[in-house]
Structure 1
Amino acid sequence: MPKTIYKPEHAVLLTLLKKHRKAAGLTQVQCSKALGRPQSFMSDVESGTRRLDIVQLRDLCKVLGIGLQDLITEFEKSLSADDATTVQ
């Protein structure tokens, strides 16, 4: 089984996180600072070199102003949409 960071689903999650960060009007630096992490934290997350555990993801959602459950719902819908376009 390939590592998570190499799965297409991981790219979908990263795209959603970046979209919500930008929608919140936050830079990577501001987001990292709000999480009490070094500047490189969000850069590493968005580039896919750093994985998040569920607690970190929940904290990030709070900073971005989106509920964890809402993010997961959006993630699942994005995957379904990707699956639908792949099948066609």
Structure 2
Amino acid sequence: MAGAAHTQAYKDLLNALVQLRKEAGLSQAELAKRLRKPPSYVGKYELGERRLDIIETMIVIEKLGSSFEDFWRTSGIQLPE
């Protein structure tokens, strides 16, 4: 399936979210519990099988103990031109 979910920038976002989760010392199941979602929710977005919208992304980042601004500043994600 083509689309923005598979751009390099989106893959970089997912990788940065996985790294942030691991730095927080949380498993997928632990993060899912904080989000009040089933464990498959985290697994699917981390694998790119489910797309996060901006609000969901911000909530995930918050539940991982960061702010969107700090996450974005340190993520190194490059937006396509």
Give the TM-score range, shorter chain. Answer: 0.7 to 0.9
Q: Identify the structure with the greater helix proportion.
A: 1
Q: Which residue of 2 aligns with 1:12?
A: 12
User: How far does the alpha carbon of each residue in 1:12-40 deviate from its partner, in whole angstroms, 9 at most, with x for none?
Assistant: 00110000000000000010111010110
Q: Distance in 2 between matches of 1:67 and 1:38?
A: 23
In the alignment, which residue of structure 2 is the partner of 1:71? 71
Counterpart Cα distance in 2 of 1:48 and 1:29: 17
Deviation of 1:79 after TM superposition, in Å, equals 2.1
8 A Cα contact 2:35 2:60, kept in partner: yes
**Separation in 2, partners of 1:62, 1:11:** 20
SS of the aligned residue for 1:79 comes to: coil
Identity of aligned residues (%): 29
User: Which piece of structure 1 moves more, 66-75 or 46-55?
Assistant: 66-75
Higher relative contact order (CA 8 A, sep 6+): 2
Q: Report deviation, 1:59.
A: 1.1
- Structure showing greater radius of gyration is 1
Unaligned runs of 5+ in 2: none
The two structures, once aligned, show a CA RMSD in angstroms of: 1.5
Aligned to 1:51: 51
Q: What is the TM-score when the length of structure 1 is the normalising length?
A: 0.80
* Structure 1 position 63, deviation (Å): 1.1
Once the two structures are TM-superposed, the CA of residue 73 in structure 1 deviates from its matched residue by 2.0
